[in-house]
Amino acid sequence: MEKLFVNGGNRLCGEVKIDSAKNALLPILAGCILVEGKVVIKKATAYTDVEAMCDILKSLGAQVNRKKDLLEIDCSSLSACEISHQLASPVRSSIFTLGPLLARLGRAKVAYPGGCDIGLRPIDIHLTALKELGCKIIEKNGYIYGEKLKREKTEVFLSFQSVGATENVIMFCALLPGTTKIFNCAKEPEIVDLANFLNKCGAKIEGAGSDVITVCGVEKLYGCCYQAIPDRIECGTFLIAGAMTGGEILLKNAIASHNSALIEKLKTCGCLIDSGKDFISLTAPKRLESFKEVETSVYPGFPTDLQPQIVAFASVANGCSLVFENVFENRFNYVGELLKMGCDILFKSSICIVRGKNKIFGADVVATDLRGGASLVLASLVAEGYTTINRAEYIDRGYFHIENKLAKLGADIKRI
Ligand code: UD1
């Protein structure tokens, strides 16, 4: 069990570099299954979820080598099309292998995915789309058995703009003869990044970033060298950390347009924010104002992956804030831990009412999931006294040694 130990109260100042996006790296790793040749991924941050995905690829027979943050993946010869429960259950992204395995090998047996407990997280949209594109899918004993048969349709409509389903279907179609039009696609920057990666390998994908994506299947994909986009959720978390601590920070390798929903909110709370091609700077006011209301939604709306962090922010801003969670139905598990720190939060089903306090206090708390864990770290930075955050391994799924970057900015934080 990993623990973080924080002595709150320090103002964050200085510069940090944002890592590559976890949610871009994970589908890109699944996309490697489609490629006959070596893929080199530069700046492949070793998040624990990324390492878990590498283990999945190795179990399929892929050659995977990591040299610091350079990852080489060669799926030229795959020896298996099955992903065990043991490998699939720690991560959500294991389901991303289904489309690529069916496309490349024609068959797949994949155990149900795991991931953070933030709701039911069904995979019906993934499976319905694959069925409509001619796959036989059977769910039995905790596994999804898939077989690629004859294509039935050239168009699919996703019933919700699911990020994972959009990615799975794009990857399946990349090697499917003929042209497929996918309607009601998710528009997240990580989808554009996946399409850019696959296109660099020789795929023909158009429209990523809009709600209609067209994929013209090719016979084969070839290796390439790629670097994923910066992590907009890590970036957002650090912007919020800077704001909450009254700090002045510069984030390098950060794309402001990917975080526009958050940046607009922070500006209304009194933060001065400037940005250029690959940086964002933030200067916080002495006393933060509340943002009044935030509603999570699909991109370009306010990201659900920043909802717990913005609740921590609201806990120390001046006034009352309302937070509506519209994407996942059970994403307030962490609130009980913030209450232990003296935060004033009421929540019912998908709504949180947060009253900002002048002071919150350090406590012994437990991370309940990745982003919920990040919200506890943020609260601990401004809490009076010491906070111990237990189960910090959740945080490591999507932040690479968060304590090192925060310490560089002046926080008193260490791993114990
Ligand atoms: C991805 C991200 C996750 C982020 C989420 C929403 C990765 C590895 N994870 O997760 O960090 O929080 O996008 O931005 O990229 N749904 C269904 N049926 C399906 C699929 C989804 O009902 O088949 C529902 C989900 O339960 C949820 C909503 O759709 O309520 C959004 O899910 P989705 O966009 O698929 O999220 P993920 O791909 O799981």
Q: Are residues 266 and 145 in the same domain?
A: no
Of 121, 192, 371, best ligand 1 pocket probe by most atoms within 8 Å of the beta carbon: 121
Residue 91's pLDDT band (boundaries 50, 70, 90)?
A: very high
**Strand intervals (E) in 141-254:** 143-148, 155-157, 179-183, 204-206, 212-216, 225-227, 248-252
Q: Do residues 8 and 94 both lie within one domain?
A: no
What residues line ligand 1, using a CB cutoff of 6 Å? Answer: 23, 26, 92-93, 119-126, 160, 162-165, 186, 304-305, 327-328
Q: Are residues 215 and 270 in the same domain?
A: no
CB atoms within 10 A of CB 27: 30
Q: List C-alpha distances in Å: 209 to 22, 186, 190, 204, 235.
A: 18, 7, 9, 15, 20
Residues 102 and 173 in one domain: yes
Ligand 1 centroid to Cα of residue 21, in Å, is: 16
Of 198, 227, 256, the one marking the end of a domain is 227
Across the chain, what does the average pLDDT equal?
A: 97
Instruction: Judge if 247 and 389 occupy the same domain.
Output: yes
The encoded tokens of residue 110 equal 């994949």
**Which residue, by CA, sits nearest to atom 22 of ligand 1?**
122
Shortest-distance Cα residue to atom 37 of ligand 1: 164
Domain count, the chain: 2
Indicate the residue type of 249: I
Residue type at position 375:
S
Q: Atom 7 in ligand 1: which residue has the minimum CA distance?
A: 23
The reported pLDDT for the residue numbered 117 is: 81
Residue 117 sits in which domain range? 25-227
- Catalytic residue IDs: 116
Instruction: Identify the domain boundary among 227, 251, 268.
Output: 227
**Domain boundary residue, one of 227, 244, 264:** 227
Kindly report, residue by residue over 27-72, the tens digit of the pLDDT: 999 999 999 999 999 999 999 999 999 999 999 999 999 999 999 9
Whether residue 120 is predicted with pLDDT greater than 90 in this model: the reply is: no
User: Residues 153, 260: one domain?
Assistant: no
